[in-house]
Amino acid sequence: MSVAIPTDFEIHLFHEGNLFKSYELFGAHSKKVNSLLGIQFCVWAPHAKSVRVVGDFNCWDGSKHEMTRINDQGIWSMFTTDVQIGDLYKYEIITHSGEKLLKADPYAFYSEVRPKTASIVYDLSGYKWNDQKWNRKKKRRPIYDRPMFIYELHLGTWKKKKDGSLYTYRELAEELIPYVVEHGFTHIEMLPLVEHPYDRSWGYQGTGYYSATSRYGTPHDLMFFIDQCHQHDIGVIMDWVPGHFCKDAHGLYMFDGEPTYEYSNPKERENEVWGTANFDLGKPEVQSFLISNALFWMEYFHIDGFRVDAVANMLYWPNSPQLHANEYAINFLKKLNEVVFSKDPTILMIAEDSTDWPMVTRPTSEGGLGFNYKWNMGWMNDILKYMESDPFNRKYLHDKVTFSLLYAFSENFILPFSHDEVVYGKKSLLNKMPGDYWQKFAQLRLLYGYMVAHPGKKLLFMGGEFGQFDEWKDLEQLDWNLDDYEMHQKMRVYVKELLNIYKKQRPLFEVDHHYEGFDWIDANNNEQRIFSFVRKGKKPNEMLVIVCNFTPDVYHHYKIGVPLKTRYIEIINSDDKLFGGSNQINRKSIEAQEGEYHGKPYHIEMTIAPFGISILRAVKKRGEKQKNGKKEVCSNASRRRKRIEA
């Protein structure tokens, strides 16, 4: 047994907060020292009196595997030939008070399946990736002017086996990926994949930040799953929690008997809302740990993006009656984003931020936090409050629909209907809708259509695509039996067609983050609760007209102002009978007429469906052809209907 000493430069960078591949130094690594093959252990425990490695290889007796303290800032190291890949281990830490702690390795690559808590020596090398085509595609075209509709899911409760056991990563590749592709989602976002002790924490209270949870298999199994996603043109985003961690005895909390990864001051350390501990984001070693962690998931697992959880809890000091900005967290987030984007400019850094902090998605060089996307929590809260209200009373909540367009282009937004909105007594999205059975489905179709038409990228939590009736039950699978019922079947048909339209119609995604891509037609009809607007693409005169009716009333020959004198084709109507509607649709193309209306130079007359959204495409002149002396619009509407019916 001997000591493999880290270099002075590595040690300097770690304590400076700039060792961005600290996972190559810390943890358990297979190495050759003096021609001997063994395992090098390295851990940071600045307050420890002594540190030993214990495991099944020494019957959990660390007397023969004591680590050497190699600097006065608490880095401990040891090389031994007694340990092999696959062995269980922990660090036995003797505190200055003489207490003995058994801690999992903060940098472990693999862990025992809960409720067991030991780390496992694991070799991450050896997986052969086949996602080169996906990576080339990402580099060719930025995401900002491409469609992005994220399917958010929790792997453990999306679907379970008949005996109640969990699907593995490899089994999910066979079950989940075809489902996501079939429905047309562009990305999946998985609730935290880091190792965590409690299923119902969903991964948000982690213990092993470098350890892909063993609930579903090995790290190589997860690599296979992500690789398969990429080969099927699906991006992978993971929820990531750099703000706080759980306080289980084997984890990071009071790692060496004193605050190590967390703030020393209890007022700053204790996260009273979630019962967790806040990372000390001003401590350089913690910065090295967390920034390295993001790069680790990018390098070894080819993660395409991170939804950074609870940014509001980081930006402001916790447990304070007033909002006081946390400069440590602000500087950390800027540094994190700068480092991540320097490694991969295509990465998605998504802030889950409920505050009105300015310039969250602006580059740090312009004074921003450096994210490239932010969840639009304001839009989500406003539109759900509007939809949950009685349709008659919605005329008093008119600004809940219009207000979002006052700030829609101040940030790069994602419109989220996430897991947070369908748990703990909040009801499912379907059950939030007022009215009878039919009206609930009609209004949910309207809500999804409005989300697709509104500027911003999109996110929907699992189950929303078929109208899950109950809220998310976080220990049970989704209610797949609902697929036996006609209205739920038709909801899935609608969502698939809606996403198909979304990905094909460039005005719905090309100019998401600039005011040039949106224009109100009528934002003031609070009495009838009908909203109409235009979405524009990059090309001149490439546009869609969207009309939303938030009441159960039907209107015929309803006049709408339009910007172009051309024909308009209804490419989707949520009231189509194919989707479970009453079929108040516009089958024929509509010719724009001379005459100013709604401030537009021309107008059309159309049918307005109850609780319906209609998307009409302006037909270009070159899209017309002569037949039997008459003009006909070149449309594949009939073929589209046949495809949907099939």
Buried b (16+ CB within 10 A) or exposed e, 100-138: ebebbbbbbbbbbeeeebbbbbbebeebeeebeebeeeb
Considering 352, 353, 465, 512, which one is annotated as catalytic?
352
Question: What span, in angstroms and rounded, lies between the C-alpha atoms of 619 and 589?
Answer: 9
Sign of CA dihedral 312, 314, 316, 318: positive
Closest by Cα among 293, 244, 291, 287 to 269: 244
Task: Say how far residue 119 (Cα) sits from the centre of its chain.
Answer: 28
Considering 262, 285, 309, 344, which one is annotated as catalytic?
309
| DSSP string over 554-619 | -EEEEEEEESSSSEEEEEEETT-GGGTS------S-EE-EEEEETTEEEEEEEEE-TT-EEEEEEE
Contact at 8 Å (CB) between 169 and 217?
A: yes
Which H or E run contains 501?
helix 486-504
CA distances 353 to 311, 312, 314, 420, Å, are: 5, 5, 10, 13
| DSSP string over 98-118 | S-EEEE--TT-S-BPPTT---
Question: What span, in angstroms and rounded, lies between the C-alpha atoms of 200 and 274?
Answer: 13
List Cβ neighbours of 76 (8 Å cut-off, separation of 6 or more): 41, 42, 43, 44, 45, 48, 51, 67, 68, 69, 70
Buried b (16+ CB within 10 A) or exposed e, 503-535: bebbbbbbbbbeeebbbebbeeebeebbbbbbb
Contact at 8 Å (CB) between 435 and 388?
A: no
Q: Is 510 a catalytic residue?
A: no
CA distances 223 to 72, 227, 371, Å, are: 38, 6, 25
The one-letter code for the residue type at 11 is I
- Name the one residue in this structure whose structure tokens are 């006081």: 324
Question: What span, in angstroms and rounded, lies between the C-alpha atoms of 88 and 246?
Answer: 22
Number of Cβ atoms within 10 Å of the Cβ of 232? 13
The one-letter code for the residue type at 567 is R
Closest by Cα among 508, 391, 411 to 450: 508
Question: What span, in angstroms and rounded, lies between the C-alpha atoms of 92 and 78?
Answer: 13
Q: Is 390 a catalytic residue?
A: no
Burial of 392 (0-12, 13-18, 19+ CB in 10 A): exposed
Contact at 8 Å (CB) between 387 and 447?
A: yes
Contact at 8 Å (CB) between 521 and 534?
A: yes
Question: What span, in angstroms and rounded, lies between the C-alpha atoms of 364 and 340?
Answer: 12
Number of Cβ atoms within 10 Å of the Cβ of 348? 25
Annotated catalytic sites, by residue? 309, 352
